[in-house]
Amino acid sequence: MAAGVIMKSFSLISVLSLIVAFLPASVQAKPVVADTSCTTGNATVVDASGVSVGFSRCIGRISGNDAARGGARMLGMLNDDDVFGDLDWVFAGKSDSGDFWADEGEDYGHWGIFAGLAPISGPFVVSFKHGNGFSAYFFDGVTSVKGGWFSLPVTRSNGRTNALSHASLFLAQTTTIPEPLSLALFGFGLMGLGVVQRRRLSR
């Protein structure tokens, strides 16, 4: 009886070991902070070299609105839940507010920032609200991005897709010194110059 139990345990361990051995390295490593299974939707951008670049990670489709008031709810997911890592994020705007443009009313199309505005460099997230939910795509390691493509996931039982309501843009902050601290350092610098000037005049 004991031998049978040992054999069953050994067989189970062997099967589990084989499963782990054949998993991709990315799955065996520590879990990623966001679901990358957005297989029925897609987003790409065009970088400075003119090459189309795919997203690094994504979440969705999630029920609800992505950016109802000042970027909430997506902004909270980025800053509080760290769905795409421990970065500080700001809400850059929505397409239906005129902050940038997107092919609203379509299930496949373009989005982009307006001519004359500086291109995006560094980590950013673009989310797409469609139907009663949204999908968000994280891009990293890209420079001089002025827009890209999107295709929305199928959201209806008949295989059709809800059209884009709006797109939202979120940028990671890259400032190394907070503004109040930089102003304080500037003030101390002016004080130091004043002391040097007084010493020169007193000679």
Q: How many residues does the chain have?
A: 203
Mean pLDDT over 154-165 rounds to 76
pLDDT over 90, % of the chain: 40
For residue 19, the tally of other CB atoms under 10 A from its CB is 9
Q: What is the pLDDT of residue 194?
A: 54
Mean pLDDT over 8-29 rounds to 37
pLDDT over 70, % of the chain: 64
Nearest to 95 by CA among 69, 78, 113: 113
Nearest to 143 by CA among 48, 55, 50, 46: 48
Beta-strand pair 164-172/124-130: antiparallel
Domain map (residue ranges) of the chain: 1-30, 34-180
Higher pLDDT: 74 or 197? It is: 74
Beta-strand pair 108-112/57-63: unpaired
Q: What is the pLDDT of residue 134?
A: 92
With beta carbons less than 8 A apart as the criterion, state whether 149 and 52 touch.
yes
Is pLDDT at 13 greater than 60 in this prediction?
A: no
Q: How many CA atoms lie within 13 A of 192 on its CB side?
A: 6
Instruction: Give the span between the Cα atoms of 74 and 67, in whole angstroms.
Output: 6
Going by pLDDT thresholds of 50, 70 and 90, the confidence category of residue 14 is very low
- Tens digits of per-residue pLDDT, 83-137? 999 999 999 999 988 889 999 999 999 999 998 888 999 999 999 999 889 999 9
Going by pLDDT thresholds of 50, 70 and 90, the confidence category of residue 141 is confident
Mean pLDDT over 166-193 rounds to 61
- Tens digits of per-residue pLDDT, 49-92? 888 999 999 998 888 999 987 888 999 999 999 999 999 999 99
Give CA 201 to chain center in angstroms. 56
Q: What is the pLDDT of residue 147?
A: 94
